[in-house]
Chains A and B, each alone.
Chain A
Amino acid sequence: MDTATHMLRTGRQGPLFEVQMALRDLRASGERIDLAWSLAWHDVVSRYRGSILGPLWITLSMGLMILGIGVLWGELFRVPVQTFIPFVAVGIVFFGTVTTTINEGCETFVGAAGMLSQTALPMLTFVWRTVMRNLIYLAHHLVIVLGVLVYFGYWQSANYPIALLGLFFLVANIAWISLLVGIISARFRDIPQIVQSITQAAAIMTPVFWLPDRIPERYHLILDLNPFYHLLEAVRAPLLGKGVAPHTYLFLAGMAVVGWGLTFSLFSNTRRRIVHYL
């Protein structure tokens, strides 16, 4: 077997060089994307070893929550169950993916300390691992979404290609957020708690459990400036057979470009140091 490899590590040679090295890390992690997948798969399998339902346990509890909230809150808000349950179901599933990917992003590097401190693996591999792991969970939860869409008759009016486009924007954004919180959490150990508080607050401020059209006009900034709302709406609206506002795409594209730009330059600057933070 040809195992010949070459490794060259050099000292700092200016910011441009650091960006180059970060790009090289990105390329290397792309070439070994199957490794990230293996790690993600290993995470899922080993977390649920010895349980019967595996990750479907979360799906099950999510389903119960959707049923409870859908019926009870639908009654409280006086929204017919036929519209409220699909809304809540799609919302909880995709919002769950957003928040857990961000929350688990805090652990990306801290949790990989062992591997990072004795191998030359690309650092971004671990970011893809976190994202892919959550996409595997999402695939499980899609059972709920599909079931609800079929049961309540939304499956014919749903626009799947547009929803897929929304999912692309969603993943592109949560990936950089995940990397960002991963780096900061490695340096400052109190970040995960802060991140969790933020995602919790976001769950309340974002129309996951309540309908966006119920909000008074003067509070509309809560929707327009809320990144979580746009992330969610890009996927949820097409699945419920509604259109997505163009400014949502604009917001998400801008957020991805600016977010990746800033986060990647932070990554370039801290890449060498991350292993020492751990």
Chain B
Amino acid sequence: MKAPPVSISCRDLTLRFPVYGVDAKSLKKHLAKITVGGKLGRHHGSTDVTALSKLNLELKAGDRLGLIGHNGSGKTTLLRALSGAYEPDEGEIEVQGHIAALLDLNLGIDPTATGMDNIRLRGRIAGLSAKQVDERLPEIAEFSGLGPFLEMPVKTYSAGMQARLAFAAATAVEADVLLMDEWIAVGDADFQKIAHKRLLKLVERAGILVLASHDVELLRLYCNKVMRLEGGVASPVTDIKKLDELLAA
């Protein structure tokens, strides 16, 4: 059976983010509120923040979308929604293809386990069987360039080394859709070069890249399209050549 082509499509995607303050998280305070008969706060003491509102997005194979926007404009939320972790409150997200998300470097990595074990774990999470992971281990290990350090616990790694490990592990799975937050800039020049190559290979394989970044040069390097988010509202997707206009707007 021929698999349908890789694509991302969001229709009227709205995502509200309940923010549970420290106050709202204590059961005692929750009960105390009820017993004194006070009105329950907005949504049981939490405040809703609309992180994305009515977002429409259509991406097809070969698209490399750059996301720009101020801090808190919804870039990461959109990436998390695309990864399947956040479910929309309204609207729809549909993704065809195998997704790899590189969002938070430290999350999902067990700092006390060795690099090798973390690669295994990541591979298993990404949907590989134990056997497939073992087959790919040498290649991933080589790509990471960490050599003997792979036998050391990840807590001994520098930020750049962690980035190498996470990137190597995540891209080793033949992902069609790669979601990245801007941390890719952490690695050293060598790593930047090989990461660049691998990203280009991914795009050649007709995948989709969605990259959130503040770094205009990075976006120009990797992306062919760009979208600006502001307070959860998205601009139309435009060509990367119009990035300056978009930034000025």
Contacts and interface: CB of A to CB of B under 8 A. Distances in A.
Interface residues of B, number: 53
Interface in A44-90: 45-46, 49
Nearest to A32: B127
Interface in A98-157: 113-121
B107 A35 contact: no
A239 interface: no
Interface stretch (B12-20, B56-64, B138-146): B12-20
A3 B18 contact: no
Given A42-B121, A118-B80, A190-B28, A10 B92 contact: yes
A277 to B, nearest CB: 7
A2 interface: yes
Contact of B4 (A4, A7, A49, A188): A4
Contacts of B93: 7-10
Contact of B107 (A1, A2, A42, A115): A115
A39 B121 contact: yes
A194 to B, nearest CB: 8
B85 A190 contact: no
Nearest to B96: A6
Interface stretch (B157-165, B171-179, B189-197, B226-234): B171-179
Nearest to A1: B174
A270 to B, nearest CB: 11
A2 to B, nearest CB: 7
Given A11-B90, A115-B108, A119-B101, A38 B25 contact: no
Contacts of B175: 3
Interface string A11-42: 11000000000000000000010110011001
A61 to B, nearest CB: 21
A275 B28 contact: no
Interface in B1-29: 3-4, 14, 17-18, 20, 25-28
A52 to B, nearest CB: 17
A191 interface: yes
Interface residues of A, number: 42
Contacts of B92: 8-11
A273 B113 CA distance: 30
A3 B87 contact: no
A126 B73 CA distance: 31
B199 interface: no
B163 to A, nearest CB: 15
A180 to B, nearest CB: 14
Given A35-B125, A115-B125, A11 B101 contact: no
Contacts of A42: 110, 113, 117, 120-121
A191 B84 contact: no
B80 to A, nearest CB: 6
A242 interface: no
A109 B27 CA distance: 18
Contacts of A35: 124-125
A9 B89 CA distance: 10
A48 B162 CA distance: 23
A38 B106 CA distance: 20
Contacts of A34: 129-130
Given A4-B3, A8-B92, A10-B92, A120 B85 contact: yes
Contacts of B129: 34
A117 B107 contact: yes
30 contacts: A3-B98, A3-B175, A4-B3, A5-B96, A5-B98, A6-B95, A7-B84, A9-B87, A10-B87, A10-B92, A35-B124, A35-B125, A38-B120, A38-B124, A38-B130, A39-B124, A114-B108, A115-B107, A115-B125, A117-B107, A118-B83, A119-B125, A120-B84, A188-B25, A188-B26, A191-B27, A272-B87, A275-B85, A275-B86, A276-B20
Interface of B: 3-4, 14, 17-18, 20, 25-28, 30, 80-81, 83-99, 101, 103-104, 106-110, 112-113, 117, 120-121, 124-125, 127, 129-130, 132, 173-176
Interface of A: 1-12, 32, 34-35, 38-39, 42, 45-46, 49, 113-121, 187-191, 194, 271-273, 275-277
